[in-house]
Structure 1
Amino acid sequence: MTMLSRVAERLYWMARYLERAENTARLTNAYTHLIMDLPRDTQVGWEVLIQMLDAEPVYTKRYRVFNEQNVLRFLIADQENASSISNSVRAARENVRTTRDVLPEETWEHVNELFIYTQETAEKSIGRRHRYEFLEQIISRCQMVNGLLMTTLFREHSHRFIKLGHLLERADMSTRIIDVGAGAILGRAETNQAIDPLLWGSMLKSLSAMSAYRHKIGPLVEPNAVVNFIFKEARLPRTVYFCLTGILEELQPLSNNGDAIQIVESALQKLTRFDAENMTLAQLHQFIDQLQISLNQLDDAINTAWFLPMQS
């Protein structure tokens, strides 16, 4: 089965933008609840959310301080932030609009309804009064679309490029959360046995991994165990290892896949040797930097192999 490269690219980015909107909503929701539970003098601020999304250069051009109102506007409704929930949903809708003929009929209806809901309620949801309901709606509606695609889409190249987009975006977000989150917690001058478990628990909740962690590891939320779990657990769909093995599976049937497969296999080899117990914070940060470089290289390889116009 063949597919136009521009269609494959739009499906890939539709999936990435849907995953980005859902992940940003998850992260924002978990962090909002965490901030409200912490003592006022706790050294954790709203700038952590911006750092996790690697958006400081864009943010500082528009806002002077990292307070709750500014950060939440930037993440939820800011039209100048290409990765805001509002813009991610808009971009996903545009990619669905131009690929409707290869998607289940209901896809356009659900994504268009998500877009309309976001446009009508995003700005009103910056404040705490409506924020929780808005973020829960974004999460549930994105999951509904993804569930529709995964349960009704014909298993051919359309499904393959959608899964590649979902899994790559999810792996990228998981590494960012661990990188900045661990740095913010472990890099503080003093540990706090009462507060630190809340911080690590919030990281798990932002990835919907708390129940799985307790099932596999136990009730105690410990730093090294959390990091190893999010990176190496093979049976949880939101871990880096699960995402990379899923990507490898989808790459196998494609032609011209050599460069992309080599990048994924190299990253998986590094993951198998990874153990947070034997790393300093600086070494952990360096490892994650290398992993994120691999994810960027993988995106470039996918783009070059299947999306760029062929050179004559």
Structure 2
Amino acid sequence: MRRSIQMVALSTIAALFALTACAPSDNSASEEKLTQVRVSEVIRSIFYAPQYVAIEQGYFKSEGLDIQLDTAWGGDKAMTRLLADQADIALIGAETTVYVGQQGASDKVVNFAQVTQRDGSFLVARNKIDNWDWSMLKGKSLVGSRKGSMPEMVSEYVLKQNGVTPFSDVNIIQNITFDNQATAFASGTGDFLQAFEPSGAILEQAGQGYVVASFGQDSGKLPYTVFMAKASTIKSEPTTIQKFTNAVQKAQNFIHSSTPEEVAKVIQPYFEGVESKVLTAVIKRYQDGDAWAKDAVIDQEEFSNMLAIMKEAGELNADVSYQDLVNTEFAEKAKRQ
């Protein structure tokens, strides 16, 4: 029986990360007048619920926009699509704009609308731990993320802040692709897992893992996931960027005024492999953890916190100007509406 439960859990996790397509759009005559906007999201995740709410609730459409959503499955891939003009807007971590800037790009990528304000990953243990302490990672192995990614930098930052030296006190496994990490953990790899939801909830439901800590709560607020575009796009299409940001703000208002059950019902089409009760539990966890920004404004203090984390990880090569990489004009206007 337990073998059967394990197979179901593995299949569910695998099915989740195979989801790449969003719900089909209505090809009515009225939609022909909409402005098409190509959006590349880094991964498909419940963490990005405001984006799916904006699509499903018709907020983008009411602003005259037709969103063509693509899932890149990787921050580097999403950024490549943006730089190659295969996408107009990308939903990625703000740190990617710093990397592009450090490489001397002539057309900078600018962050203009914040979606999440904390790291969205959780620490999953194989057994229940009632009184968790980060020192319990010492001598253990942790399935983590790739070097230079924000999840990995946050993880290392939190460990150091709690007296745990990454790669010395704890072995961090980094050779497993994101979409295979939860499956690998369920199969026996690692003592702990840095997981994005709903992987943690699915593992808990199957009795194969238990969430014991939140990386987001222990690392503070930062512009973890934002909408961004090339500076040239923002300059040439300010009306479209404003309409896009207006829709994002409407979705954020919905997220913060709705129950987990209501939000789950709206975004369910994007997570067909996830049970409604799991989806609801994850949304509640994110709401309780203050993961979603209440407005799209990218705060300078939070941006500075992200830079501090990058510097601690050795990924910040030079000083970075907030004014060069952040535009709050559209978010501030959307907030006032």
TM-score where L is the length of structure 2: 0.28
Q: Pick 1 or 2: higher relative contact order, CA cutoff 8 A, min separation 6.
A: 2
More helix by share: 1
More strand by share: 2
TM-score where L is the length of structure 1: 0.29
